Amino acid sequence: MSFRVLDLVKPFEPLVPEVIAPQRKVPFNQKVMWTGVTLLIFLVMSEIPLYGIISSDGSDPLIWLRMMLASNRGTLMELGITPIVSASMVFQLLQGTKLIHVDMSNKEDREQFQTAQKLFAMLLAVGQATVYVLTGMYGPPSSLGAGVCLLLVLQLVFAGIIVILLDELLQKGYGLGSGISLFTATNVCEQVMWKAFAPTTSASSKGAEFDGAVVALFHLLGSRKDKKRALLEAFYRQNLPNMLQVLATVLVFFAVVYLQGFRVEIPIKSTRQRGPYAMYPIRLFYTSNTPIMLQSALSSNIFLISQMLFMKWPNNAFVKILGSWGSKGGSSQLYAVSGLSYYIQPPMSLTDAMVDPIKTFVYITFVLGSCAVFSTTWIEISGTSPRDVAKQFKEQGLVIAGHRDTSAYKELKKIIPTAAAFGGVAIGALSVVSDLIGTLGSGTSILLSVTTIYGYYDLAVKEGGFAKSVVSGYTDGI
């Protein structure tokens, strides 16, 4: 056998920390507990501030990604799940394109692949932490001093490794689902709950008002003389989260859950084992939330590059075409004001969308189009295209009931790409709608977390409700 890239990681194998896979199947209750503990560690880490930072104010170039990557500014969770996500994306791509050869049926190969991925994630964490500190995200490095700089990098890397291990813990069967989606969903849920129930108040010239929309509703109703006006204010106030946004979030939540149930069921039967038809479901959200993830990754990368270029060369014509940036309403946060970035940046509100209909039109077309394209592309990359599924059917001796043995591919070709494209458009549309009606948090992040929560619900029904084992411990033991 010739030299393999994967063999390069062999010397590091004993050095990389590893979670040992459970010896036998972990019962559902214990999985719930492990998941809870993991979540608790994650939440605590995203509240612990980094030691030694001078300031973390100033424009945040990553604001578009923060919620999705479960990162929290100025805390141990500054990097969030970025290293894991990037590493797994890169390795999936490498494996999918067969650039590195890995035999997934071989245990040793599989372990080596995972080690390599983990090692890469760690390297990414080190690299990213260094870049963050040295670019002066926590104040100029010269004033921080070398010692503090090193300390900051170490803190970030250490937190990154813990997140990698937590994710591994869940993935290896101790917990439910994957760490990545769990952390993202938690982060989003936390922010939504905070915006709805925050106990903090802001006192402007209108008097003290609650930051949390639901609490504010009670407060305004209780403390204002004119109840109708209080109600209107609670629902429409612009300066802080309002009840309309809370309702919109709830609405989007249920819309996604409803649409998740949409599926085409293809009756299939086995040629080897006669019996009742099985159902092969093709969901409307065939590619789940991948298109919106890819789409937002694309646009946030464009924003990041454009913003950085604009800082350096504000007068360059090409840079200006890509996007020029300005601050809005006194805060230091930058927003695109013209150029390409402006057109793919979501409108801030419904009124914003009305003011510039061309931009709104371009934005909607861009999101829906890119989502559809990403969705249809993704089925090819991830091995869920009609061709792959038909091959799988053939290997397992499955045929579509009521059709000739050979026509499975033709039938699947009719349904899968349509479902993928349409599902991509649907999820893009949902994201646009939730951005326009103004949910608490961006449309993308809400969609991500809802699909994750629904996935967990599915899992709980499957594992917790209808499992076969009558007595826990008995069937497991034998």
Partner 1 sequence: MASEYKYDEGSDTWPYFVLALLVFFMVPITARWFLRAISSGSSSKAVEGSIPYNHESLQLANSTQIDKVRAQKRAGRVFNRSLVIVVLGWALAAYIWITYAKEVSLTGFFDPYTILDIPYTASEKDIKSRYRKLSLVYHPDKIGKDLTDKVKEEMEAAFIQINLAYKALTDEVTKRNLELYGHPDGQQEVTHGVAIPKFLVEGRYSQLMILLYFVLIGVILPFVVGNWWSNVKATTKRGIHVDTAASFVRRLADKNPAVVYTPYTVLDWILESAEVTALRGDKSVQEIKDLVLSYFKRESTGSDEELTLRVVSELLPLLTGFIEIATVFKVPDVILAAFDLQKAVHQACTPLGKHRELLQLPYVDAKVVEAQSVKKLGKLLTLSDEEAGKVLGISDSKKLKIALDVAKNIPFIRVLDASFKVPGEDYISPNASAHLVVKFLIKSAALKSCPEIDDLRFTEEETIEDLKNPLRSNDLPPQLPAAYAPYFPGLVSNSWEGFIANQSDNKFIEGTESALLRNVELTNLKLTQKEWIEGKEHVVAISTFKVKLPAPVPPTVGDFHFRLFLKNNAYFGTDVDIPVDMEVKAVPIDQEAVKKAAGLDEDDSDSDSDLDISDPEEDSIAGALAALRGQGVKKSSEADDDESDNESVFTDINTDTEDEGED
Q: Looking only at residues 337 through 396 of this chain, which bind partner 1 when binding is defined by CB under 8 A?
A: 377, 380-381, 385, 387, 390-391, 394
Token look-up 């709830």 returns 250
Among 21, 44, 54, 208, binds partner 1 (CB under 8 A): 208
Q: Which of 12, 51, 218, 457 binds partner 1 (CB under 8 A)?
A: 218
**CB of 472 vs partner 1, minimal distance in Å:** 6
Tell me how far, at minimum, the Cβ of 398 lies from partner 1, in Å: 13
Measure the CA angle with vertex 377, ends 372 and 379; round to 5°: 105
Tell me if 474 contacts partner 1 by CB under 8 A: yes
Our CB check for partner 1 shows the closer of 253 and 343 to be 253
Q: Alpha-carbon distance 121 to 73, whole Å?
A: 20
Using CB under 8 A as the binding criterion, the count of chain residues that bind partner 1 stands at 73
* CB proximity list for 165: less than 8 A, separation 6 or greater: 17, 19
CB-based contact 78:131 (threshold 8 Å): no
Q: Does residue 473 bind partner 1 (CB under 8 A)?
A: yes
* Cα 204 to Cα 206: distance, rounded to the nearest angstrom: 5
Residue 368 token pair: 């829906």
Give 240 or 251: the residue with its C-beta nearer to partner 1: 240
Q: Is 99 in the site for partner 1 (CB under 8 A)?
A: yes
Binding partner 1 (rule: CB under 8 A), the pick from 179, 212, 323, 441 is: 212
**Is residue 279 involved in binding partner 1 (CB under 8 A)?**
yes
Distance CA 50, CA 73 (A): 9
* The one-letter amino acid at 89: M
Q: Is 105 in the site for partner 1 (CB under 8 A)?
A: no
CA angle 274, 266, 372 (to 5 degrees): 150
Binding map of partner 1 across residues 298-337, x = CB under 8 A, - = no contact: -------------------------------xx-------
Of residues 399-458, those binding partner 1 (CB under 8 A): 401, 404-407, 409-410
Instruction: Give whichever of 279 and 354 is closer to partner 1, judged by the CB atom.
Output: 279
Q: Which DSSP string do the residues of 358-411 spell out, in sequence order?
A: HHHHHHHHHHHHHHHHHHHHHHHHTT-SHHHHHHHHHHTTEEETTS-GGGHHHH
Least distance CB 31 / partner 1 (angstroms): 12
Say which DSSP state 268 is in: E
92, 106, 223, 301: residue in contact with partner 1 (rule CB under 8 A): 223
